[in-house]
């Protein structure tokens, strides 16, 4: 049964597993593992301790912070290490809201990650207000539409660098310029994009910026938040006063060292990664679009989309079931939409683009990584063609 589509059709297995879900997480790279090794073994000290073991750990955190700051174009003391993108987003939004005494208005976009949307909702539940700006039909937020939604009492604006479902790259600099003209800080969730776009806080014009290690070859459980000097933030965690008093908790020294290595690798290889992924995703998109019923979600303009992202819908089919069939064939990918209790919920991103539920529950997101090859692309194309043909036949479409 495991290799049949609904028990009726034999499923062709690809010769090896193909991982095409890099926006969900990435494998830890050899260079990151090598950089971390020492801090998982001999140098295990607590970075707050004054003895030699502690000082070694503290030096490693200091060096990692400096390394990250040089890459992102900021000062080391403007970087706070966190447990990942979710925590960084929460600290940026809730920490800023608490610093404003939970008064005022938060403006973000309708296609943000739930870590951002739900943080803003939480602040609204405590007495603030929040709004989201809809993107255009191609998944890009218009700076003019964003500017028009800023209110007199807006205390924080946020827009993601690149969307995690459809890969659209947002005009952050233009949005930030408008936001700054009104004297409001700009938050940017840059969790997706690092390694495929050069991320510099000054080029983007961000005052707060989130990054996550596990999206770029570091392990899960480490991330960072850039906080431009002077941007008001109240810490969310009380404790030992680590991270300049903004994020208490014993430092994840090995993770922090790994994060710095991953960031350095991502920055150093952005051009070649982008070139490689663009060739693969162009080929995959060209192949998928020839499959009956396939529609591409988001922009097809190369410069406005993450090079590794291909997001398509097969209206009328169920995203989760397509993902499971692909998994049985040896291909790991994901649905753009969440599955709750066996029912596929429409993707909030595709709904924000104006798509109906038939399309918003039928999306497949392929996010390619450096190890993917043209053979992988061909295998994915063939598998999607086979599965969708069978599923459409079964549903009588």
> How many of the other CB atoms lie within 10 Å of CB of 157?
27
- Within 8 A by CB and 6+ apart from 123, the residues are 93, 94, 97, 102, 106, 130
| Residues designated catalytic | 339
Looking at the Cβ atoms of 111 and 291, the one nearer to ligand PLP is: 111
Looking at the Cβ atoms of 84 and 95, the one nearer to ligand PLP is: 84
First to last CA, the chain: 24
> How many of the other CB atoms lie within 10 Å of CB of 241?
12
CB of 119 to ligand PLP, least distance (A): 10
CB of 59 to ligand PLP, least distance (A): 26
Q: Are strands 331-332 and 18-19 parallel, antiparallel or unpaired?
A: parallel
Q: Which two tokens stand for residue 355?
A: 């798509």
CB of 127 to ligand PLP, least distance (A): 25
Rounded CA gap, 230 and 212, in Å?
A: 23
Q: Please name which of 191, 195, 187 lies closest in space to residue 84, comparing C-alpha atoms.
A: 191
Contacts with ligand PLP, residue ranges (CB under 6 A): 84-86, 89, 113, 115, 160, 164, 189, 191-192, 212, 214, 223
DSSP annotation of 74: S
Looking at the Cβ atoms of 23 and 329, the one nearer to ligand PLP is: 23
CB of 161 to ligand PLP, least distance (A): 8
Rounded CA gap, 370 and 272, in Å?
A: 9
Q: Rounded to an integer, what is the distance from CA 359 to the centroid of its chain?
A: 22
Rounded CA gap, 379 and 17, in Å?
A: 10
CB of 89 to ligand PLP, least distance (A): 6
CB of 218 to ligand PLP, least distance (A): 10
Q: Report whether 108 contacts 120 (CB < 8 A).
A: yes
With CB atoms as reference, the residue minimizing the distance to ligand PLP is: 85
Q: Report whether 339 contacts 324 (CB < 8 A).
A: no
DSSP annotation of 197: B
> How many of the other CB atoms lie within 10 Å of CB of 191?
28
Task: Name residue, tokens 């408008």.
Answer: 178
Q: Please name which of 218, 240, 215 lies closest in space to residue 369, comparing C-alpha atoms.
A: 215
CB of 225 to ligand PLP, least distance (A): 11
DSSP annotation of 291: S
Rounded CA gap, 352 and 360, in Å?
A: 10
Which stretches does DSSP call E strand in 23-125? 79-82, 105-109
CB of 115 to ligand PLP, least distance (A): 5
Beta-bridge partner residues of 10: 4
Looking at the Cβ atoms of 85 and 308, the one nearer to ligand PLP is: 85
Q: Are strands 334-335 and 363-367 parallel, antiparallel or unpaired?
A: antiparallel
């Amino acid at each position: 049964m495991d290799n049949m589509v609904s028990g009726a059709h034999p499923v062709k297995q690809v010769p090896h597993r193909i991982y095409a879900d890099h926006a969900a997480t990435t494998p830890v790279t050899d260079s990151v593992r090598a950089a971390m090794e020492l801090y998982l073994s001999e140098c295990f000290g607590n970075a707050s301790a004054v003895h030699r073991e502690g000082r070694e750990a503290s030096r490693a955190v200091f060096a990692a912070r400096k390394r990250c700051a040089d890459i992102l174009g900021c000062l080391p003391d403007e970087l706070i290490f966190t447990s990942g993108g979710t925590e960084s987003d929460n600290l940026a939004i809730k920490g800023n809201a608490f610093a404003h005494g939970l008064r005022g208005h938060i403006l973000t976009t309708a296609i943000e990650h739930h870590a951002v949307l739900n943080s803003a909702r939480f602040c609204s539940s405590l007495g603030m207000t929040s709004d989201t700006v809809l993107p255009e039909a191609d998944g890009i937020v218009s700076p003019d539409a964003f500017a028009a939604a800023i209110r007199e009492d807006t205390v924080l604006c946020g827009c993601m660098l690149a969307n995690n479902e459809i890969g659209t790259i947002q005009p952050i600099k233009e949005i930030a310029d408008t936001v700054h003209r009104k004297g409001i800080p700009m938050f940017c969730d840059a969790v997706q994009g690092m390694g495929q776009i050069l991320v510099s806080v000054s080029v983007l014009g961000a005052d707060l910026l989130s990054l996550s290690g596990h999206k770029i070859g570091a392990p899960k459980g480490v991330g960072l938040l850039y906080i431009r000097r002077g941007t008001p933030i109240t810490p969310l965690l009380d404790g030992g006063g680590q991270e300049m008093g903004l994020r208490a908790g014993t430092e994840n020294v090995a993770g922090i060292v790994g994060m710095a290595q991953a960031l350095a690798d991502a920055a150093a290889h952005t051009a070649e990664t982008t070139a490689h992924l663009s060739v693969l995703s162009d080929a995959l998109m060209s192949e998928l679009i020839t499959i009956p019923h396939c529609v591409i979600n988001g922009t097809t303009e190369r410069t406005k989309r993450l090079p590794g992202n291909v997001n398509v819908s097969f209206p009328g089919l169920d995203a989760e079931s397509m993902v499971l069939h692909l998994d049985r064939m040896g291909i790991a990918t994901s649905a753009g939409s969440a599955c709750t209790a066996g029912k596929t919920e429409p993707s909030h991103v595709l709904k924000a683009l104006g798509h109906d539920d038939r399309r918003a529950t039928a999306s497949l997101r392929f996010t390619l990584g450096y190890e993917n090859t043209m053979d992988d692309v061909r295998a994915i194309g063939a598998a999607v063609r086979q599965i969708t043909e069978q599923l459409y036949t079964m549903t009588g479409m």
